[in-house]
Structure 1
């Protein structure tokens, strides 16, 4: 049996050839992103039929290549609206036990929605490869719908994206117009969408469970390809800090520093710092066999760092939450604690220049950048942005290495401290 991906590639090739013959027959230039097909030809069935078939082949092939994770995390706002409904009303979980297929009536009975509503939501999701309707009225799981049914974190991500990120992103242009050039974290699309003067994190924290739900949803990418702790654990020489101390600044529950402590038993102390309400919950998460080496400390990273002379101050996905003005303050907060042997290790995106990375990856990076701008005026930074940020914070910071390990989505930036500089 021919693999589906091969069938799609053949279909794509055949339809592109048909389109090219149409263009040549009508003395039109080849398809190009610089020049569109003239409007009067775009309604011609000899063009639209192969074009639509090619587009559908591209969409399905993209879904196959990126998998269920990529399919669900790259949705448009309209797609997300239907997927939110699937999550909210537990439609993907409402199949009879251990069955891969169910009728609309069976799903409706289990999720509590009227059958016409269930049918409408599911059929709106079919073009996004969430469910399949192989025979009239009978729905079958796809990899994406099965992931929604079995992976609660993905459901949280979908709902949080729809509730927090998309409304804020749609107001970015309004925020730019209202506060031109602002680097304040409360001059954002989120502020306009939520009618608040608080920054996003403070505003969420005032509503029980909202900040926790947002934080939990963001951990989805720790489970996704390219974001797992192993990329940080295996690609920095932690063993050079034997008998030393690592401070995980803004480290939440230690999802990244605890694996470092587990692999490198010679590291004497790992201190996970975060705000008091986070630390209250995080203290019980360290494995019993690490409790003599891993501790939790309440600390606001805008204040001076209280742990002096640590070997490494780790900031993982912290600075992208903040505009340069505030990211600089976070780095300046480290200065009183630094010694000549101290390293600052940043684990974040190092956004490549356009054309230096595959388009799909570049699109993901730009989506993240827009999302951070929408929420807090934060940003994903290119190499030159990182250099500028450290130079503005203190010219004694010296970037020693900056690279993105193979198969990792996030880069590693190693920064030394020139204690002799004045």
Structure 2
């Protein structure tokens, strides 16, 4: 088992859990007393444990080594079959969109858009992330096959969406990192960019009701929920929680479909704008 530590992504995951999450895990009660009912990003047990006032992601931006370890942890996390991007690639009718634009919001390296572009060659992809991330990705992607089909754009997803009329605004593993206050702000920033047939596609977890899945699956789901609370003051949502978030974001947002690809830990939630609803 110790030989696994020679694999960089596994070493990053263990380091991340021990030196980031575990330090916050011992301060849950203290954070609950200090920040009663707060949805602020910097009011997590992680902040109390580390004595840092910045939200976790903002702090990582100031500390490249810890940011790199976080990305290594995510690489290891994504290597598990239940979290493989093939579930997203194969779980939606991407070719049925025809010649259209997909905006990969918070798309980081663009690896998801790259995989989707191979599945649906007629689509155009715009990968958005923070400016420092995009600059780094552009430098590393230059000359790499397939990346010439992607357009990279600096954008803070808490700001209004600058690309109007895209067929799909894709949010993969984004909203579960934020409390309802901030997840709603992300969704609200997308709605003004909608045109006819635009939709939001969320690829995220839907928490099972207690006792409805096997013990291992339930254990993993509850651990993930705790991790979101400890590190980000965020939450894994059950279906009613997602619906409440959509209503809070914009009453016109309609959950049109839910698809859970076989073997996937996450579901595809398709949101459209119902103009007939009250605003």
TM-score under structure 2 length normalisation: 0.95
Match in the other structure for 2:270: 414
What SS is found at the alignment partner of 1:248? strand
Match in the other structure for 1:224: 80
Q: Please tell me whether residue 310 in structure 1 is matched to residue 166 in structure 2.
A: yes
2:137 and 2:270 mapped to 1: Cα distance?
27
1:287 and 1:386 mapped to 2: Cα distance?
40
Q: CA deviation at 1:202?
A: 1.5
Q: Please tell me whether residue 147 in structure 1 is matched to residue 4 in structure 2.
A: yes
- Which stretch has the larger CA shift, 270-279 or 171-180? 171-180
1:288 and 1:164 mapped to 2: Cα distance?
33
- For each residue in 1:350-405, what CA deviation from the matched residue of structure 2 results, as whole angstroms up to 9, or x when unmatched? 11101111111111111111111111111111011111100110011110112322
Decide which structure has the larger Cα Rg and report it: 1
TM-score under structure 1 length normalisation: 0.63
4+ residue runs over 6 A deviation: none
Equivalent residues in 2 for 1:345-356, closer than 5 Å: 345-356=201-212
Q: Which residue among 236, 240, 246 is the counterpart of 1:384?
A: 240
2:145 and 2:67 mapped to 1: Cα distance?
30
Q: Please tell me whether residue 277 in structure 1 is matched to residue 138 in structure 2.
A: no
After superposition, the CA RMSD in angstroms is 1.5
Q: CA deviation at 1:412?
A: 1.0
Q: Which runs of 5+ in 2 are unaligned?
A: none
Equivalent residues in 2 for 1:73-92, closer than 5 Å: none
Q: CA deviation at 1:292?
A: 4.1
Q: CA deviation at 1:286?
A: 7.0
Q: CA deviation at 1:225?
A: 1.9
- Which stretch has the larger CA shift, 163-172 or 278-287? 278-287
Match in the other structure for 2:59: 203
Of the two structures, which has the highest relative contact order with CA contacts closer than 8 Å and spacing of 6 or more?
2
2:226 and 2:10 mapped to 1: Cα distance?
21
- For each residue in 1:120-170, what CA deviation from the matched residue of structure 2 results, as whole angstroms up to 9, or x when unmatched? xxxxxxxxxx3xxxxxxxxxxxxxx44333x21111111111111111122
2:82 and 2:63 mapped to 1: Cα distance?
32
1:217 and 1:292 mapped to 2: Cα distance?
27
- Indicate how the Cα distance of structure 1 residues 365 and 287 shifts in structure 2: closer, same or farther if over 3 A, else same: farther
Equivalent residues in 2 for 1:364-375, closer than 5 Å: 364-375=220-231
- Indicate how the Cα distance of structure 1 residues 403 and 291 shifts in structure 2: closer, same or farther if over 3 A, else same: closer
Report if the CA contact (8 A) 2:257-2:269 is conserved: yes
* Corresponding residue pairs, total: 277
Equivalent residues in 2 for 1:395-406, closer than 5 Å: 395-406=251-262
Q: CA deviation at 1:287?
A: 6.9
